[in-house]
Amino acid sequence: MSSTVLVIIGLVIYIVFYKTYGGFLKNSIVGSSDKEVPSKRLFDNVDYVPANKYVLFGHHFASIAGAAPIIGPAIALAWGWLPAILWVWFGNVFIGAVHDYLSLMSSVRYDGHSVQWVAGKVIKKRTSYIFAWFILFVLILVVAAFGAVLGGIFVHKPAVPTAYFLQIAFALVLGYIMYKMKANFGVSTIIAIIFLTTSIIAAVYFPFHASYKTWMVVFLAYIIFAAAIPVNILLQPRDYMNAWLLVFGLAIGGIAIIFSFKPMAIPATTMFSAPIIAGQATPFWPAIPLIIACGSLSGFHALVASGTTSKQLSDEVEGLFIGYGSMLTEGFLSTLVILSIGIAGMGIVGADKAQTLTANAAAFGNHYIPAMKASGGPVGLFAKSYATVVNSVLGIPAKFMVVLAAMWVASFAMTTLDTTNRLARYTFSEILEPLKDSAKGVYDLFTNKWVASFIPAAIGIGLAWTGEWKVIWPAFGAANQMLASIALMTASAWVMRVQKKPSWPVFIPAIFLWVTVTIAMIWYVVKIIPIFMAKSPVQAYVLGAMMIIMLILNFILVYDFAKPDKNQEFAEDNA
């Protein structure tokens, strides 16, 4: 099957479902409201400001696009490209985009309040607190997952850490130029692009070698430091450079793949239970949402949508474009990832490996993950495939494209590491709130800025220390999908109890997701943790504990959903 054909099919599916199913959701479920959108009704020129729909789309998309839509699909190819792509297409259209869109709209109807706050109002008060636990776990596990994956690529391809160091140094300079010197924006932009290009080129010629464990220590120090400095110094200029990386990466990659006309060189399907997580036979269902999160469905997006986007939506009708549409766009990105590895992956794993892998479908399924590991993990495999495709279509030298692609993923991942630490230390103190009066000493200690920053970072890096991204990545996926589960339940409760409309388009995915993730997590605790225990007992206990806590909270959550407080007023939206 030609990749070009698949791209077109993907585009068609997304466009058709956007118009039909999306339109259906908009008209029949969300409906319209007499009240003006909060960006106008509550306009304060600070947080509530109506934004142009394209600008808001870009902003929202940039916030939800990161490293995950690339890493997840790369791993999922162990099941073959067809199941992965079907999940990216249909999981997105029926669950993920619905989740994003309805999280956005329910927030809009609740004066721009976050889905966590709304959950507290339409389900039960303690749901909002449970939400905080899941958020904290996601924040810790994302550091673990990204840290492990990044560590892998840093070791495998030493040009990447050079690019990363250079980008940080350049970001500091760019920040000074843009915000202290207040240079002309166009000039700053050109400088930013020059910096990026220089980082990529220099990286190829000056690789930096260090051991995996060294990188883990560096990441930990980096996280704590970067999360402690004002945002205009590093975070803001780096975000700006990343926006350009995203645009270039997507544009170049998109064009290359569309015009490649190459056939998929990997099997469409391999087996139902390919050995992915910890090398164990991993059943496609229920494990797929744990592997491919962003790109198909991600709870994190609900927080972004209901955090800032809902306060800037300028008209309700634009919600579909921004909420549903940007998720589909992210799905498109994941599609490109699957296709690029599909057509070029076998060319870069090495001739003997390629032979084993392509012998038959089963062989592929069994040997894919180790082959991926040998190629630098998911990032390495993607980056090299990307480089091959771009090179063959556009002629740009592969050795630079590899660094571009790897840097694209690494930059976003590095951003996530320190920004999630900022969020984690706040969430951490929110969770400890009940201790404020009952255990004052403990509370004071743990809410100290440095302690609260260090603990989540240390746990995250501590887990990543093992290098077992195969084990950690699905745990991150699980926590993320638990968030999505709550968000979908909140949206269902909103539709059922407040909108009083038929809720099956959101309720069925909510139940399906809840059942899937719960079973997946139980399977994980029973099958995977013991294996992990044998290799890294400390981390296994920590990870196991997190999963079990999440499972318990999960059951409490669905109980609360089914049996809402009789006294709880379902705060009318726009109350």
Partner 1 sequence: MKSVIFFLGKGGVGKTTSSVSLAYYLAKKDKSVYLASVDPAHNICDIVADKPFKGAKNIFGRLYAEEIDVEQYLKDFVHKTTRQMKETYRYLQIINLDRMLDVMKYSPGMEEYAIMYALEDKIKNNSNKDYIIIDTPPTGLMLKIFALPFTSKMWIEKLVEWRKKIIDLRGAISNINKEAIDKELAIKEEDDKVLKELGIQLETIDFMVNLFQDTDKTKTVIVLNQDMLSVNESKKIIEALKFMKIPLNMILLNKKGMIEDSVDIKNNFKDTTVRDVPFFKSGLPSTEDMINSCKDWVKVLIDE
Partner 2 sequence: MLDNFLENLKAFVEGFKNQSTSAIELQLHEMENGFALICFGSLMGMPSPPSYLGMALLPYLEHEIKVMIFKSERLDDRLAEFFDLSDI
In a 3-state reduction of DSSP, which class is residue 275? Answer: strand
DSSP character string of 63-132: HH-SSHHHHHHHHHGGG-HHHHHHIIIIIIIIIIHHHHHHHHHHHHHTTT--HHHHHHHHT-HHHHHHHH
Q: Which is nearer to partner 1, 4 or 189 (CB)?
A: 189
Using the rule CB under 8 A, is 440 a contact of partner 1?
no
Using the rule CB under 8 A, is 436 a contact of partner 1?
no
Using the rule CB under 8 A, is 322 a contact of partner 1?
no
Considering only 6, 68, 138, 178, the residue that binds partner 1 (CB under 8 A) is 178
By a kind-dependent CB cut-off of 5 to 8 A, residue 28 interacts, out of partner 2, partner 1, none, with none
Using the rule CB under 8 A, is 179 a contact of partner 1?
yes
Using the rule CB under 8 A, is 449 a contact of partner 1?
no
From CA 100, how far away is CA 321, in angstroms rounded? 11
Any idea which residue has 């599916």 for tokens? 13
The two structure tokens encoding residue 201:
């080129």
For the bound state, the minimum distance from the C-beta of residue 92 to partner 2, rounded and expressed in Å, comes to: 16
For the bound state, the minimum distance from the C-beta of residue 228 to partner 2, rounded and expressed in Å, comes to: 14
For the bound state, the minimum distance from the C-beta of residue 252 to partner 2, rounded and expressed in Å, comes to: 17
From CA 408, how far away is CA 402, in angstroms rounded? 10
Using the rule CB under 8 A, is 208 a contact of partner 1?
no
From CA 137, how far away is CA 121, in angstroms rounded? 23
469, 152 Cβ separation under 8 angstroms: yes
Using the rule CB under 8 A, is 563 a contact of partner 1?
no
For the bound state, the minimum distance from the C-beta of residue 146 to partner 2, rounded and expressed in Å, comes to: 8
By a kind-dependent CB cut-off of 5 to 8 A, residue 340 interacts, out of partner 2, partner 1, none, with none
Considering only 27, 232, 360, 448, the residue that binds partner 1 (CB under 8 A) is 232
In whole angstroms, how large is the CA radius of gyration of the chain? 23
The one segment of 184-192, 206-214, 280-288, 477-485 that binds partner 1 by CB under 8 A: 184-192
357, 371 Cβ separation under 8 angstroms: yes
Distances (CA, A) of 211 to 152, 222, 465, 536: 10, 16, 11, 19
Distances (CA, A) of 125 to 116, 128, 424, 547, 568: 10, 6, 22, 23, 9
374, 349 Cβ separation under 8 angstroms: yes
Q: Provide φ and ψ at 513, rounded to 5°.
A: -65, -45
Considering only 34, 185, 437, 569, the residue that binds partner 1 (CB under 8 A) is 185
Q: Which is nearer to partner 2, 83 or 460 (CB)?
A: 460
Q: Indicate the burial class of 547 (C-beta count within 10 angstroms; 0-12, 13-18, 19 or more).
A: buried
By a kind-dependent CB cut-off of 5 to 8 A, residue 52 interacts, out of partner 2, partner 1, none, with partner 2
From CA 97, how far away is CA 90, in angstroms rounded? 10
For the bound state, the minimum distance from the C-beta of residue 81 to partner 1, rounded and expressed in Å, comes to: 42
The one segment of 120-128, 151-159, 175-183, 281-289 that binds partner 1 by CB under 8 A: 175-183
Binding site for partner 2 (CB under 8 A): 44, 46-47, 52-55, 57-59, 62-68, 113-117, 132, 135, 142, 178-179, 185, 188-189, 230-232, 235-237, 239-240, 242-244, 294, 298, 300, 303-304, 306-308, 412, 415-416, 419-420, 422-423, 426-427, 430, 480
The one segment of 101-109, 176-184, 409-417, 451-459 that binds partner 1 by CB under 8 A: 176-184
**Residues found near partner 1 in the complex (CB under 8 A):** 45, 178-180, 182-185, 188, 232
